Structure 1
Amino acid sequence: MPSSHSVRRRQDSLTDPDARISVKPGKARKLNYLSQLSVDTGHHVITDIKAYHADGKDNQQLPDIVKRVKRRLWQQGLVWENCVADTGYSSGENYAFLEAQDLKSFIPPHGTFKGGPDGFMYVEEQDHYLCPQGKIIPFTKEFNDYRTGTRKKEYRCRKHVCIDCPIRSSCLGKSAQEKKFSVTYYRAEYLRNIARVDPDSYRDTGQVYERQTAKHGRACFWYTHAIYGTAQSKHYRLKTS
C-alpha cells in the first residue's frame, strides 16, 4: 500500500503549493482556492475579496475578513454596524468576536446548536438549569471539547437527585445514573444573534427557537437592512499542469 506521504504528495500541486483539495457534494475532488467576498448590502458594492486555502472553513476566515474590512472602512470614514452572513460563518466564537468589535451579527445558527436539553429552563442569575420536575442541574466545569475544539460548559446533578424521579427512565436512558449535559460556552451570544435574525422564533428562556434554513440565510443576507455583510463563499478551480 502507498504511504500516507505519497498519498499526500498526489494531492499537492507541483506548480502551486498553496492550492488545496476541497470536496463538495456531487462534485469531483479538485485543487481549489476559497474566495471570500464582502459586499455593501445596500448598494451591492464589493468592499473586500481575498483567496484562502480551500481546505479551511468559512467560519475560520471571518475574524480575518472583519479586521481587514473594518480597517478599510474606517480609513474611508465609513461606519460599519451590522455583519450579515450565511450559516457557514456561524460559531459561538464568531458571535463573541463580532460583539467585541461592536458589530451586530445577523448569521443564522447551524442546526447543531441547542440552548439546553428539551424541557429544561436556564436560570441565568445562578447559572443553572431547572429540569421538567423542578430540580436544579448546577454548573460544574468549563472545558474544551476535543472532538470539535469548541469551548463548552458542563452541567451535572448528583445521583440522589434523580433516584425517585418519575421521568427518570426517559430522561436518563438505560445506563446513566445522573443527569449530565454540556452547552456551548457562548450560549448568550448565540441567543442574542438568534433574536436579531428571527425575533419571532426567539423566547427569553432560550429553550425554543426554529432552526434557520439555508434559504432563510440567503434571504437574510440580501434583504436585511445592514450596512455591510459577508457574502456566501465560492470555490474556484485552480488549473494545474
Structure 2
Amino acid sequence: MQGRKEFTPKMLYQVHLTDLIPAHNFYRLLDQSIDFRFLYKATAKYYGDEGQESIDPVVFFKICLVGYLNNINSDRKLIEYCSNCLDVRLFIRYDIDEALPWHSTISRTRQLYGEEVFLSLFKEVLKLCVSKGMIRGKRQAVDSVFIKANASMDSLVEKEVLEDASAFVDELEENSEFKTTSTRKKLVEQHHQWKKEAYKSQPNPSFKIDKVDEHGNLIRPRFVSNHTHYSPTDSDARVSVKPGKARQLNYFGQIAVDDAHHVITGACSDFADKRDSQCLEKIVELTEENLNENGIELEELLADGGYSSGEALKYLNQKNISAYIPNFGQYKPEREGFIFNKELHQYECIKEGSNKALLLFKGEKTDSKGYTKRTYRSSESDCKNCPLREQCCGKSTKFKKIDDSIHKEHYDRMHEKLTQNPYYAKKMVRVRSKTVEPVIGTLVNFTNMKRVNTRGIQQANKHVLMAALTYNLKKYLKFITKKTKIKAGVVSELQAKVSTFLKTAIYNLRNMFLSISIFKDYNLQPKINLA
C-alpha cells in the first residue's frame, strides 16, 4: 500500500542541536582537532575596553574556514550557507534559533585583523601536522600561480605623464605608482605599435579590425602595460598573462610544499608583475622560519625554470640550501670554438684555421631588460683577416664579442649538479611535479584560491594563508583518521595471531598428553550412546 507523508508542525520541540549531528561529522572532528582559543590573545590588541561587543574572533575564523572548505567566495553566500547547515551552526556555537552575524561584519573584521593573526593560525595548523609526523622537512617544492584580483581590466586608467626633470625627481621621492615618465611612455607605445602592426599579418588575429564607432573610426583594442596604466579600483593589482590565458589583473601567489605528505609549509602573495625568481627569497625565508620554529631544517629546494636567476642561485648558495632548478633558456654552458681562461679572465679562440684571437674583458653593462653582463671582445686586427670571420662574426662585423652573466659561476655550478647525476636530477623534476602541482590545482579549484574577493596586497596575503591552512587541516584530519584505521587493523591482526597461537598450543599439549604411555590403555574418546 502506498504511503503518503504529511508535515504537521508542532507548537514546541524538545530537541538539542548536539543530538542532530553524528559523532563522526567532519565539523565535529575539526572542532576537536584544533584549539582556537589562542586567537583571543592574538586579536586582543585590535579592540578597546569600551563599546559594543564585536563578533567573537573564533567565530569569525571558523566562518572563514567554512567558506574555504566549501569553495564559497561570497560573504553573503557564506552566511547563508552557515545559517542553513546544522553541523556548521554547532561548529560555530550558534543555536538553531540564533541569528548569524551580517556578511558586512565578516568583511570589516577581515580588514581589521593584520596579517600576523592569519599567519599565527597557519603556524598553529602546521604545528599539528608536525606533531603527527606529516612533515619531514628535508625537501621543499616551490611553485606559483596567478590569483585573479577583484578589479576589471575596464577600470584601468593611464598614468600621469611627467614631462620635465623636476617632476621626475619629485616622482622618485614620492615613489608613486600612478605616474610615469614621458620616456617610459614613449617606449611602451612604440612596443604596442609594433605589436599592432605585427598582428595584422596573423591568420587569426586576436582582434577584429572591421569594428567602427559611431563616427566611422576603426575600433582597436588598447594595449595596456603596468608602466603606463593602473587600476584605481585596486592599485596593487597588476596586469599579467600566462600562455593560453587572458590578460587580466592578478596577484601572485606562492606556496612551498613538503614532499613527505604534501603539507604546505609556506604561503604568501606578491605583485603579479614580478618574475618567479624575484619572489623566491620571500617564500624561502617564510618557509625556513616556519620549519625552524618546529625544530626542522630546510635542506633541499625544488623549483621550475621560472625561478632560475643569478640572484636567486646566489641567495640559495649563501643560505647553504641545495637547490635543483633548471637553468633558464638563455644560459649557455660553453661557447663553441672558445675556451675560457679563468686565470687571465679572457676567452681564447681554438677553432681550426682561425687566427686564435683573444677576447679580453671589456667591462660590465646592463641591457634594456635589466640583466647585467660581462663583455669579452677581440680586437679588429685579430679577426678582420681571419678566414672564419664571416661565419663567426658576421659579414659586416670585424670583431667577436661574447656576453656572459655576472652570475655565470652560479649557473655553471647548477648545470654541473644537474648533469653530474642526470638520473637523480630527472627524479627531482618528477618529485617537484607530483608534489607541488597537485596542491596548487586543489587550492585553485577546490579551496577558493582562484579569485580574491578583497582588494590590496595585504588582503591577498590573508587569502592565500587561509586557503593554505584550510588545505593543511583537511590533510591533517584525513591523516589521523587513516592512522586510526591502520592501528585498529594492526590490533585486530595481532589478536587473531594470539588466538591462533593459543589454539595451536592447546592442540599440541593435548596430543602430548595422549601420547604418554600411562594413558594409552584408557579410552579417552567420548562415549556414544547407541540406544
TM class by shorter chain equals 0.7 to 0.9
Q: Give distance in 2, aligned partners of 1:232 and 1:97.
A: 25
SS in 2 for 1:171: helix
Greater fraction of residues in helix: 2
Q: Give distance in 2, aligned partners of 1:74 and 1:95.
A: 22
Mapping of residues 12-161 of structure 1, within 5 Å: 12=231, 14=233, 16-133=234-351, 134-145=356-367, 147-161=368-382
Distance 1:40 1:238, change over 3 A: same
Q: Give distance in 1, aligned partners of 2:348 and 2:427.
A: 32
Q: 1:160 Cα deviation (Å)?
A: 1.3
Q: 1:182 aligns with which of 403, 413, 418?
A: 403
Q: 2:432 aligns with which of 211, 217, 221?
A: 221
Q: 1:194 aligns with which of 415, 428, 438?
A: 415
Unaligned runs of at least 5 residues, structure 2: 1-155, 161-223, 456-531
Structure number with bigger Rg: 2
Could you tell me which residue of structure 2 aligns to residue 207 of structure 1?
A: none
1:96 partner letter: K
Higher relative contact order (Cα pairs below 8 Å, separated by 6+ residues): 1
- 1:206-240 CA-partner distances (Å, limit 9, x unpaired): xxxxxx9xx9984262489xxx9xx9898833458
After TM superposition, where is structure 1 displaced by more than 6 Å over at least 4 residues in a row?
A: 6-10, 231-235
Tell me if the contact between 2:157 and 2:229 (Cα under 8 Å) persists in the aligned partners: no
2:357 partner letter: K
SS in 2 for 1:198: helix
Tell me if the contact between 1:32 and 1:236 (Cα under 8 Å) persists in the aligned partners: no
Q: 1:76 Cα deviation (Å)?
A: 2.3
SS in 2 for 1:72: helix
RMSD: 3.4
The answer to whether structure 1 residue 5 and structure 2 residue 136 are counterparts is no
Q: 1:20 Cα deviation (Å)?
A: 2.4
Tell me if the contact between 1:19 and 1:31 (Cα under 8 Å) persists in the aligned partners: yes
* TM norm structure 2: 0.37
Tell me if the contact between 1:34 and 1:236 (Cα under 8 Å) persists in the aligned partners: no
Distance 1:216 1:26, change over 3 A: farther
1:171 partner letter: C
Tell me if the contact between 2:158 and 2:229 (Cα under 8 Å) persists in the aligned partners: no
**Alignment coverage as a number of residue pairs:** 221
Tell me if the contact between 1:107 and 1:217 (Cα under 8 Å) persists in the aligned partners: no
Distance 1:164 1:29, change over 3 A: closer
Identity %: 34
Q: 1:176 Cα deviation (Å)?
A: 1.1
Distance 1:75 1:17, change over 3 A: same
- 1:135-187 CA-partner distances (Å, limit 9, x unpaired): 32122212222x12122111011111113322111111011121112111111
Greater fraction of residues in strand: 1
* TM norm structure 1: 0.77
Q: Give distance in 1, aligned partners of 2:157 and 2:230.
A: 13
